[in-house]
Amino acid sequence: MARIELCNLEKSFGAVKAVKNLSFTIEDGEFVVFVGPSGCGKTTTLRMIAGFEDPSAGEIRIDGRVVNDLEPRDRGLGMVFQSHALFPHKNVAQNIEFGLRMKSVPQADRVKRVREVADMVRISHLLEKMPNQCSGGEAQRVALARTLVTNPSTFLLDEPLSSLDAKLRRELRAECDRLHQTLKRTFIYVTHDQEEAMTLADRIVVMRSGEIVQVGSPMEIYSNPANYFVADFFGSPSMNLVAGEVVQNGTSTRFRSSWFDFALPERFKAATPGTATLGIRPEHVQVHVGTKGDIELPVRLVEPLGKDTLLYFDASNDRAFVAVTEGLGMADIKVGERVALSLDQHLTHLFDTEGRRVNTA
């Protein structure tokens, strides 16, 4: 059982404020992912929860009890590090057993627990090996086992997968998910990878320059990004963001850029005219060959991915405009060919000059 409350948490390193007035509650059994670009304060927040960093201000409560002055070992947490942090001079079994030995668990129980946990993360065949004889993925499994064995109330995971290759990352991501399902413990996971955040989290906390930008379920974050930053950060390929201006033209509200003129749907009727950014996810752009759509653009690049095909268009913007079409039907389009595009009216976003999302009526 662990409900973790962060109250007005601050952390400064000299003149640099790494975490600014952060308040957030992590419910018991929840899988929360802190995500953001490097330097956004997510790891610092995790290290404060773990007890490796003292907050400059604010409180951390675990199940209602303030733990600011508690040593890391007295907080009942488990942590997995980015660099797996195994003890290089102990073999896998001794590494896993370490936490139990520190708690003076009798030898027979230790052996039993180590076996159980090793089975759980499928590393029973590695028990006699040294850490340097394990591959990156195996080492991270050992690190997980070493944490699991002490049965912590909360798992803190600091970018545990970022040093692994793509395939292993997916595999271990599934492993983390499975562990969370079976153990029903609180998981706090830090990553800069939006995909990990989307797939693992019950709730995502998006951070930027020491502050929380948005909190929500993966779907909320994906379909209702609070601002330009979140819109741009989540999704692969990322959201098309077109710089231009909102123009009130008699009865209709239109969005104009140098290459683009689009009638905004009813809900943006109240938008203030002036500079703005229009956002639309690549999968919400429909591609029609021949028929007329909202805009017509020449194709710059075709990327057939098998399940989908990505089309990149030349826009006068510094970034390409991307559309996703299902299957390989569009894979034969020639580069330079002009194609008609229509945007899904309900799924467009508008951001003001500050990057905030323009609320719809």
Partner 1 sequence: MAVAALSAAEAPPQASPRAISRQRAIRRFKLSLLAPLIALFAFLLVPVLLLQLYFSFHQWTVYLSSWWDADYVGIDLFKEVLTDPRFGWATLRSLAFATSSTLGCFVFGFMLAYLMKRPFRGQAIYYIIFILPMLTVPVVVAYTAEMMLYQSGPINDVITRLSGFEFKPSWLSNPNIALMTVSLLEIWNWTPFSFIIMLAGLSAIPKEPVEAAEILGASKWRIFWEVELPLLRPVILLALVLRFLEAMAEFPKTWALFQGGPGSATETLPVYIFMTTWQYFQISKGAAMSYIVMLMMVVIVLLAIQLLRREKRSLDKMYEQSDEPIAGA
Q: Which residues contact partner 1 (rule: CB under 8 A)?
A: 50-52, 71-73, 75, 77-79, 81, 83-89, 98-99, 102-103, 129-136, 138-139, 143, 146-147, 150
Residue with Cβ nearer partner 1 (73 or 112): 73
Q: Where are the extended beta strands (E) located within the chain?
A: 4-13, 16-26, 31-35, 57-62, 65-66, 77-80, 154-158, 186-191, 203-208, 211-216, 240-249, 252-257, 260-263, 274-280, 285-288, 295-304, 308-313, 321-326, 338-343, 349-351
Rounded to whole angstroms, what are the CA distances from 216 to 187, 236, 242?
16, 19, 25
Residue with Cβ nearer partner 1 (50 or 198): 50
Residue with Cβ nearer partner 1 (153 or 317): 153
Rounded to whole angstroms, what are the CA distances from 127 to 83, 99, 116, 143?
19, 16, 12, 12
How far is 262 from 277, CA to CA, in rounded Å? 12
Residue with Cβ nearer partner 1 (99 or 282): 99
CB of 9 to partner 1, least distance (A): 19
Q: Which tokens in the block code for residue 348?
A: 């467009």
CB of 74 to partner 1, least distance (A): 9
CB of 265 to partner 1, least distance (A): 51
CB of 146 to partner 1, least distance (A): 7
**Position of tokens 């609180």?**
186
Q: Cβ distance 173 to 31 under 8 Å? A: no
Residue with Cβ nearer partner 1 (128 or 261): 128
| Residue 340, strand partner residues | 288, 296
CB of 89 to partner 1, least distance (A): 4
CB of 314 to partner 1, least distance (A): 40
CB of 99 to partner 1, least distance (A): 4
Residue with Cβ nearer partner 1 (136 or 355): 136
Q: Return the exposure string of 277-295: e unless at least 16 CB atoms fall within 10 Å of the residue's CB, then b.
A: bbbbbbbbbebeeeeeeeb
Residue with Cβ nearer partner 1 (71 or 354): 71
